[in-house]
Amino acid sequence: MINETSMMPFLLYDKPYPYNDIMIYPVKMGDILEFQIYQRCLVLRKNSWFPDKQIIKMTYMDFLFFCSNNPEYLNKFNDKNDEMFDFSDSGLYYFYFLQLLTIVCKESKEIKYNQVTGQIYIDETEITPQMFDDIRRIIILQNGIDFDPDEFMNVSTEKALNRASRHNNKNNNNATIEDYIDSVVVSLGMPVSAIEEMSIRKFWRYLDRINMHESYTIMKTGECSGFVQYKEEIKHWMISLNKKDKYSSLKTDEKDLRDKISS
């Protein structure tokens, strides 16, 4: 089984993950802009988002290749009001995966594909649909993508939760990746060149930890002063960063959720 537990010896220090005869490397911050585009091909809930028998029967690998040859097919599922469900680039999903391979398979000499069959080869290794799924899972875990490929979520439910999330965050500053990089540089006192060589997964973990440390310090200082009391115990800044459910704070009762969406 490929999961976070089995991969932890490699995730801990950003070591490449050996898969068959292929070494798969974590993506560095120097490639984050490209990665943010290419990762689109990894986070599609094929069976729940596209309830079409033709698609459900496909492997994920065949699905991406199908999209490359039928870019107009997913348009009927399009929702341009929700970035996650805007499939206007669906014709590029297969290309996105190939580009990801060129980034994460640094030691491989050649990555080629058959334009007719969609078959992919990494050096002399032919990638089967099962291997494709494994590599997809490795890339997701290795780079801290907040997505569970095994989770089934009704598309209408996910759209509702996304709308509620946007409502909750609408007053937040729209920080860019450059703003986040600047924040880590200032907080950790490290040069930008060091950030560029940092893995994407570690970068976001460091940023989350910096925020937790700052919040903890402020709250603990207030509590120790005797002028502030909290109903719940202050969580220490060194607790686990793992998020069991990214929508947990939004999954309230149905009426509350509807109120969030409609307001």
Give the per-residue pLDDT at 39.
Answer: 97
Cβ-count burial 243-259 (b if 16+ within 10 Å, e if not): eeeeeeebeeeeeebee
pLDDT over threshold 50, residue 253: no
Give the per-residue pLDDT at 219.
Answer: 81
Give the per-residue pLDDT at 244.
Answer: 58
Residue extents of the structural domains in the chain = 4-163, 174-242
Query: Of 49-58, 117-126, 149-158, 244-253, where does mean pLDDT reach its minimum?
Result: 244-253
127-133 own/partner pairs: CB under 8 Å, 24+ apart: 127/61, 129/59, 129/60, 129/61, 129/62, 131/19, 131/20, 132/59, 132/60, 132/61, 133/59, 133/60, 133/61
Q: How far apart (Å, rounded) are the C-alpha atoms in residues 50 and 44?
A: 9
pLDDT (mean) for 77-81: 83
What residues are paired with 17 via a beta bridge? Answer: 24
Nearest to 195 by CA among 187, 186, 203: 203
Q: How far apart (Å, rounded) are the C-alpha atoms in residues 127 and 149?
A: 19
Q: How far apart (Å, rounded) are the C-alpha atoms in residues 76 and 84?
A: 15
What are 183-207's pLDDT values in tens digits? 999 999 999 999 999 999 999 999 9
The Cα diameter of the chain in Å comes to 71
- What's the pLDDT band for 22 if we cut at 50, 70, 90? very high
Q: Quick one: what percent of the chain has pLDDT higher than 90?
A: 60
What are 35-74's pLDDT values in tens digits? 999 999 999 999 888 888 999 999 999 999 999 999 888 8
- What's the pLDDT band for 252 if we cut at 50, 70, 90? very low
User: What pTM did the predictor assign?
Assistant: 0.86
| 8 Å CB contact between 123 and 112 | no
